[in-house]
């Protein structure tokens, strides 16, 4: 009887088997790595209507985060400052800057400046700024070194796994409440201080589903 298949097919089953194992693992790894917010979100730096530089305002001028983001201690939402806050200074400083034209327009018309949101959590995840800021989770722990950012970008993945990294071991990340807005804070002995603060504030970071999804 004539041969139906050429000789190379002898090796085909083994190769197909190995290829499918590699492929399946590749798919799992690929989704785990390339679809994660760490890959897709970190570094997101949209161009804002006003080229506001945090680096200039925080590092050079020494503004505190809460000078503009006033409600973080009381509200679940960390507010974007009103045009009024900008105009406190800019009605006297750089009053003819082209970059500031949208701010002056907003001041004239009463329409808000449409800033572009950088940190976007999904609607089903409820994050509360006040709950975190008031027990000593630093701004930079989630937002990175904003004082060095010419343009604000997303520094951390904000994935659920990333949230849980801290919720499972808050003592490794927590700081005294008065240091919350400090940029580049480093404790001498984080382990000891962290444990002390956890017991002082009675921190019991929840890891059950409905803590954030309700």
Partner 1 sequence: MSKTYEYVPEPALVKGNHDFSSITALVTDINMRPTPKGWYIAFAISNMLLLVLLVSIAYLIWEGTGIWGLNQPVGWGWAIINFVWWVGIGHAGTLISAILFLFRQGWRTAINRFAEAMTIFAVMCAGIFPAIHVGRIWVVYWMFPLPNQMAMWPNFNSPLLWDVFAVSTYMTVSFLFWYVGLVPDLATVRDRIKSKVGKVLYGIGALGWRGSNRHWWNYEKSYMILAGLATPLVLSVHTIVSFDFAVSLIPGWHTTIFPPYFVAGAVFSGFAMVLTLMIICRKIYNLEDIMTVDHIEKMNLIILVTGSMVGFAYLMEFFIAWYGQVEYEKAIFIIRATGPYAWAYWIMIACNVISPQLFWSKKIRRNVTLTFIVSIVVNIGMWFERFVITVSSLSTDFLPSSWGYYSPTIWDVLTYVGTFGLFFTFFLLFLRFLPMIAVAELKGVMPQADPHNYDENGEYVEPKVEVPEPKKLNS
Distance CA 145, CA 143 (A): 7
What is the torsion angle, in degrees rounded to the nearest 10, for the CA atoms of residue 41, residue 44, residue 49 and residue 52?
A: 130
Which one of 48-56, 78-86, 92-100, 155-163 is the stretch in contact with partner 1 (CB under 8 A)?
Answer: 155-163
Exactly one of 37, 49, 144, 176 binds partner 1 (CB under 8 A); that residue is 37
Shortest Å, Cβ 12 to partner 1? 9
Out of 161, 172, 199, 200, name the contact with partner 1 by CB under 8 A.
Answer: 161
Is residue 166 near partner 1 by the rule CB under 8 A? Answer: no
Q: Residues 150, 53: contact at Cβ < 8 Å?
A: yes
Is residue 164 close enough to count as binding partner 1 by CB under 8 A? Answer: yes
* CA 88/CA 101 separation, integer angstroms: 15
User: Looking at beta carbons only, is 2 or 93 nearer to partner 1?
Assistant: 2
For position 82 contacting partner 1 by CB under 8 A, the verdict is: no
Q: Rounded to whole angstroms, how far apart are CA atoms 191 and 53? A: 34
CA dist., res. 36 & res. 102, Å (int): 36
Tokens of 69: 């983001």
Q: How far is the CB of 39 from partner 1 (least distance, A)?
A: 9
Please tell me whether residue 38 binds partner 1 under the rule CB under 8 A. Answer: yes
Q: Which is nearer to partner 1, 56 or 125 (CB)?
A: 125
Q: Give CA–CA dist 69/52, Å, rounded.
A: 14
The C-alpha atoms of residue 113 and residue 81 are separated, in whole angstroms, by 10
Q: How far is the CB of 157 from partner 1 (least distance, A)?
A: 7
Structure tokens at 23: 């492929």
Instruction: Show the tokens assigned to 198.
Output: 């956890």
Q: Does 8 bind partner 1 (CB under 8 A)?
A: no
Nearer to partner 1, 1 or 93 (CB): 1
Residue of the chain from 18, 20, 21, 32 that contacts partner 1 (CB under 8 A): 32
Separation CA 203–CA 150 (nearest Å): 34
Where do contacts with partner 1 occur on this chain (CB under 8 A)? Answer: 1, 4-5, 9-10, 13, 28, 31-32, 35-38, 157, 159-162, 164-165
């Amino acid at each position: 009887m004539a041969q139906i298949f050429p000789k190379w097919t002898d090796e085909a089953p083994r190769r197909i088997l190995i290829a499918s194992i590699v492929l399946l693992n590749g798919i799992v790894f690929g989704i785990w790595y390339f679809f994660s917010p760490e890959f897709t979100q970190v570094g997101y730096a949209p161009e804002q209507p006003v080229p506001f530089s945090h680096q200039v305002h925080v590092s050079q001028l020494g503004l505190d985060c809460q000078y503009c983001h006033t409600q973080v201690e009381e509200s679940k939402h960390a507010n974007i400052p009103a045009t009024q806050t900008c105009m406190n200074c800019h009605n006297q400083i750089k009053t003819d800057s082209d970059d500031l034209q949208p701010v002056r327009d907003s001041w004239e018309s009463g329409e808000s400046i449409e800033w572009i949101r950088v940190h976007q959590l999904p609607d089903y995840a409820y994050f509360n700024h006040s709950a975190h800021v008031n027990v000593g989770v630093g701004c930079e722990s989630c937002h990175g070194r904003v004082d060095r950012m010419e343009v604000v970008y997303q520094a951390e993945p904000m994935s659920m796994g990333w949230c849980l990294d801290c919720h499972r071991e808050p003592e490794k990340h927590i700081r005294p409440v008065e240091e919350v807005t400090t940029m580049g804070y480093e404790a001498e002995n984080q382990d000891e201080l962290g444990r002390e603060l956890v017991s002082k504030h009675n921190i019991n970071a929840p890891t059950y589903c409905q803590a954030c999804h309700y």
